[in-house]
Amino acid sequence: MTAQPATIRVGIIGTGVMGADHASLLDSSVSGAVVSAVADADAERAAGVAKGLAAARVVLDPLELIAADDVDAVLVASADQTHEAFVLACLRAGKPVLCEKPLAPTEAAARRMLDAERALGAGTVNVGFMRRFDPGYVELKEIIDGGVIGVPLVVHCVHRNASSQHGATAADVVTGSVIHEIDAARWLLGEEIVAVRSHAPHRRGQAESAVGPVLVTLEAASGTVVAIEAFVNATYGYDVRCEVVGDRGTVALDPVGPTATMLGGQRRQPIAADWRPRFSEAYRLELQNWVTALRSGTLSSAASAWDGYVATLVAERAVESLATGQRVAVITPPS
Ligand SMILES: NC(=O)c1ccc[n+]([C@@H]2O[C@H](COP(=O)([O-])OP(=O)(O)OC[C@H]3O[C@@H](n4cnc5c(N)ncnc54)[C@H](O)[C@@H]3O)[C@@H](O)[C@H]2O)c1
């Protein structure tokens, strides 16, 4: 990688929930970066986000944004199915790109992106699996890697959202939410997933108004099992949990939040409405890491295109398993 200018001028494609959040973090809380351009299929939304930034202009065509002279690097935060076209355009333009998860909705698309990156030189695509930067997950990994809890045997993961988009299916829960756990498991354990099994339980004879909990089990190469419950209509708020059980002890993310109030005979603790407050520091640290690496011409420690590809591959097998509830082997090609 070649070093980039002292201030990285970032172009953002997609100014919805995540794009707007990233834009604000890049402009206000990340050193060495400025958002120079934003694009969105909804031009009014892009203009609204640009208005709150120091020096961003609105570009109507995302491909024009990628090619622009005042854009050194691109952040893709548009809808999942648009990632491939934009990432490939960045690679062709020789511009580094941080793409929100998932890298792509299908293994075939993710493979095309990985192959394009390899054909054009490594290290230009990163994927927004921000848990790798969350202080809690980082500490979990340090404790596991330090051998403190012994050999990891089981990982329990819970991923709950208050409500999902209308019409979301169990497959969407896997490709949109469980994929975070898939990447976190590979990263925490430092090994590949060799098989998956999925299940979407429902009460017999009862019509469901929205998708319920989805259970996915991952088998790691060493035999460690990762048990995931993803429930995107949990109603009460956003809740992510992770506990790793080793043969000498366990380590878990601390639940919910930093403070609790004792009042009127009750212990109360606020629960975030969505993922932004829970992972705000992780997003900031991820963006800072990406920008710092670009400035110094080194590789970012954010998830790579390979990590993005493998997570999509495992998610695709987990979706396959939903149909039968049977174990499906995951054959990861050599990296
Ligand atoms: N890392 C995380 O924690 C996290 C959390 C939520 C979403 N995401 C991912 O971030 C991405 C954006 O999600 P979101 O919640 O912000 O969605 P969103 O619907 O709020 O925003 C997506 C934006 O992309 C725009 N868009 C769609 N197609 C486009 C196109 N062809 N050209 C330009 N703009 C286009 C839409 O108009 C919209 O403004 C998705 O890939 C999603 O999976 C990641």
Provide the 3-class DSSP secondary structure of residue 328.
strand
Tell whether ligand 1 has an atom less than 6 A from the beta carbon of residue 48: no
Give the list of residues 6+ apart from residue 278 with CB closer than 8 angstroms, or none.
238, 240, 272
Phi, psi of 300 (to 5 degrees): -70, 150
- pLDDT single digits (tens) 206-237: 667 789 999 999 999 999 999 999 999 999 99
User: b/e map of 43-82 (b: 16 or more CB within 10 Å)?
Assistant: eebbeebbeebeebbbbeebbebbbbeebbbbbbbbebeb
Residue identified by tokens 């319920």 is 212
Best probe residue, ligand 1, of 78, 133, 287, 312 (max atoms within 8 Å of C-beta): 78
Mean pLDDT within 69-76: 98
- Mean pLDDT check: name the lowest of 124-133, 160-169, 205-214, 318-327: 205-214
What is the Rg, in whole angstroms, of the alpha carbon atoms belonging to the chain?
20
Tell whether ligand 1 has an atom less than 6 A from the beta carbon of residue 79: yes
Show the DSSP H helices in the chain as ranges.
17-29, 43-51, 62-67, 83-93, 107-120, 135-145, 170-173, 179-189, 275-278, 280-296, 305-322
Tell whether ligand 1 has an atom less than 6 A from the beta carbon of residue 130: yes
Tell whether ligand 1 has an atom less than 6 A from the beta carbon of residue 238: no
Contact assessment for residue 174 and residue 315, using Cβ atoms and an 8 Å cutoff: yes
- pLDDT single digits (tens) 123-146: 599 999 999 999 999 999 999 999
Identify the pLDDT of residue 202. 81
Does the structure show a pLDDT above 70 at 256?
no
DSSP state of 131: G
**Residue with CA closest to ligand 1 atom 29:** 41
Distance between CA atoms of residues 223 and 168, nearest Å:
32
Give the list of residues 6+ apart from residue 314 with CB closer than 8 angstroms, or none.
182, 186, 193, 196, 218, 330
